[in-house]
Amino acid sequence: MPVFHKTKVLTDVPMHYCPGCTHGVVHRLVAECLEELGVAGKTIGVAPVGCAVFAYNYFNLDMAEAAHGRAPAMATGIKRVRPECVVFAYQGDGDLASIGAAETVHAAARGENITVIFINNGIYGMTGGQMAPTTLIGAKATTCPYGRDPKVNGYPVRVSEMLAQLDGPSYIARVSTHNARAVLDAKKHIRRAFEKQIEGKGFALVEVLTGCPTNWAMSPVDALKYVEEQVIPYYPLGVYKDTDKEVR
């Protein structure tokens, strides 16, 4: 019989996220995985700059708050001196794929034994809806008000595909939160990304597609419909790298 209660690895602090923002879902999945793997007591999380900047208020863990884009570097510093701990960085697309692109690529290339949870909603949410490195062509943002034009703004970055080219990562997967079934699937991959670290296999990243109802100017339901119909075709779901088995 399925029974669901909120995991104790999340605090009781109400999350500040907008209604229908699936940051909260991903927080819960991460917390549940840590609880189920029995490692919450030795986990250190690193929060980003962006909407998840207050993640340290929600995860019932020892937490650090990194500078914008630097979470993988900070997590590297923590993990290197405390290899016995489980260390994860939780980052959005502006944080991870724009200002923190170098830190991300090189933590991956080093095979740094950390887990990165990458929230891709194609927008800078916290600052009010500016264009992200992952904003789709044609999509509007406050800094591409007529829609992203590749001649002016360049092209969206497919982070999972890019990182999967490197030898360092042990696991790269893209998942989504557009419906309950996708969420259940996402959890399996997040759990796998933590298992990789626990097994000492090196850098693991799960890219999670989410919506931003507020800055996309959509209802929560429409935002997740947009993820399913418009975002996933550009950012296909799946495992892009797994050193334990052949993928794709």
Partner 1 sequence: MPKAKIKKEVCKGCGLCVVNCPKKILKLTEREINAMGYNYCQVSDPEACIGCAMCAAICPDCAIDVD
Partner 2 sequence: MARQLMKGNEAIAEAAIRAGCRAFFGYPITPQNEIPEYMAAHMAENGGVFVQAESEVAAINMVYGAAAAGFRAMTSSSSPGISLKQEGISYIAASDLPCVIVNIMRAGPGLGGIQSAQGDYFQAVKGGGHGDYKLLVFAPASIQEAVDLMFVAFDKADQYRMPAMILGDGMIGQMMEPVELPPAVDLQSLPEKPWCLRGWDGQGERRIVSSLRIQPEDLEPYLNEQMKKWERIKEDEARAEEYRAEDAEILLTAYGTPARICKSAVEILRAEGIKAGLIRPITLFPFPDRAFRYHAARPEVKGFVSVELSTGQMIEDVRLAVDGKKPVSFFGRCGGAVMSEDEIVAFVKGGAF
21 near partner 1, rule: CB under 8 A? yes
Q: What track of x and - describes contact with partner 2 for positions 43 through 72 (by CB under 8 A)?
A: xx-xx-----xx-x---xxxxxxxx--x--
**CA-to-CA distance for 12 and 191, rounded, in angstroms?**
23
Q: Which position has the token pair 């991903």?
A: 26
Chain positions 182 to 211 lying near partner 1, rule: CB under 8 A, are 183-184
Using the contact rule CB under 8 A, the part of the chain among 100-108, 124-132, 143-151, 180-188 near partner 2 is: 100-108
60 near partner 1, rule: CB under 8 A? no
Residue 65 burial (C-beta neighbours within 10 Å; 0-12, 13-18, 19+): middle
| Residue from 105, 144, 166, 247 in contact with partner 2 (CB under 8 A) | 105
DSSP symbol at 116: E
Chain positions 210 to 229 lying near partner 1, rule: CB under 8 A, are 213, 219-221, 224
From residue 212, give the alpha-carbon distance in Å to each of 54, 162, 171, 198: 17, 24, 26, 32
Closest approach, Cβ 117 to partner 2, in A, equals 17
220 near partner 2, rule: CB under 8 A? no
- On whether the CB atoms of residues 57 and 217 are closer than 8 A, the answer is no
20 near partner 1, rule: CB under 8 A? yes
SS (H, E, C) 134-193: CCCCCCCECCECCCCCHHHHCCCCCHHHHHHCCCCCCEEEEEECCCHHHHHHHHHHHHHH
Using the contact rule CB under 8 A, the part of the chain among 19-27, 94-102, 124-132, 163-171 near partner 1 is: 19-27
95 near partner 2, rule: CB under 8 A? no
Binding residues vs partner 2 (CB under 8 A)? 40-44, 46-47, 53-54, 56, 60-67, 70, 73-82, 85-86, 102-103, 105-106, 110
